[in-house]
Amino acid sequence: MASSFSSSSAVLLLGFVLNLFLQINLSHSLTCSSQQFSSNRIYEYCNDLPELSSYLHWTYDSSNSSLKIAFLASSKADGWVAWSINPQAPKMLGAQALIAYKLDGNMTLNTFNVTSYKGIAPSKIAYEVWDTAAEYSDGLMRIFATIGLPGQMTTINQVWQVGTAVSNGIPSAHAILTANLNSKGTLDLLKGQSSSTTGGNDKLRRKNIHGILNAVSWGILFPFGAIIARYLRTFQSADPAWFYLHVSCQSSSYVVGVAGWGTGLKLGSESEGVVYKAHRNIGIALFCAATVQIFALFLRPKKDHKYRKYWNVYHHGLGYIIIILGIINVFKGLDILVPAQKWKKAYVIVLIVLGAIALLLEAVTWVVVLKRKSGKSTKPYDGTNGRQ
Higher pLDDT, 251 or 204: 251
Q: Is the pLDDT of residue 12 over 60?
A: no
Higher pLDDT, 204 or 71: 71
User: By C-alpha distance, which of 282, 267, 278, 67 is closest to 181?
Assistant: 267
| Angle (deg, nearest 10), helices 341-377 and 308-337 | 160
* 327, amino acid identity: I
Cα separation, 108 vs 379, in Å, equals 86
Cα separation, 67 vs 79, in Å, equals 26
Q: Report pLDDT for 11.
A: 43
Q: Which segment of 107-111, 173-177, 182-186, 267-271 scores lowest on mean pLDDT?
A: 267-271
Cα separation, 216 vs 256, in Å, equals 8
Q: What is the DSSP letter of 35?
A: -
Strand pairing report for 66-74 and 54-61: antiparallel
Task: Quote the pTM value.
Answer: 0.52
Q: Is the pLDDT of residue 382 over 60?
A: no
What counts of helices (H) and strands (E) characterise the chain? Answer: 8, 13
Contact present, 115 and 97 (Cβ < 8 Å): no
Cα separation, 45 vs 313, in Å, equals 71
Average pLDDT for the chain: 82
Partner residues linked to 357 by β-bridges: none
User: By C-alpha distance, which of 91, 109, 92, 112 is closest to 100?
Assistant: 109
Contact present, 112 and 118 (Cβ < 8 Å): no
Q: Which long-range contacts (CB under 8 A, 24 or more apart) does 359-362 make?
A: 361/227, 361/230, 361/231, 362/231
User: By C-alpha distance, which of 258, 182, 183, 251 is closest to 214?
Assistant: 258
H-helix or E-strand containing 80? strand 80-85
H-helix or E-strand containing 132? strand 128-137
* 234, amino acid identity: T
Q: Report pLDDT for 152.
A: 81
pLDDT band at 269 (very low <50, low <70, confident <90, very high): confident
Q: Tell me the average pLDDT across 242-252.
A: 90
Map out the domains of the chain with their CATH numbers: 35-198 (2.60.40.1210), 202-375 (1.20.120.1770)
Cα separation, 37 vs 69, in Å, equals 12
Cα separation, 138 vs 35, in Å, equals 12
Please, is 340 exposed, middle or buried when counting C-beta atoms within 10 Å of its C-beta (0-12, 13-18, 19+)?
A: exposed
Higher pLDDT, 265 or 97: 97
Contact present, 79 and 165 (Cβ < 8 Å): yes
List pLDDT tens digits, range 17-52: 344 434 433 333 457 878 888 888 899 998 889 889
Q: Give the length of the chain.
A: 388
Q: Tell me the average pLDDT across 11-22.
A: 42
Q: Which segment of 113-117, 233-237, 309-313 scores lowest on mean pLDDT?
A: 233-237
User: By C-alpha distance, which of 106, 130, 107, 111 is closest to 121?
Assistant: 111
Q: Is the pLDDT of residue 266 over 70?
A: yes
List pLDDT tens digits, range 184-234: 999 988 887 777 655 445 666 777 888 889 999 999 999 999 999 888 887
Contact present, 338 and 175 (Cβ < 8 Å): yes
Higher pLDDT, 361 or 196: 361
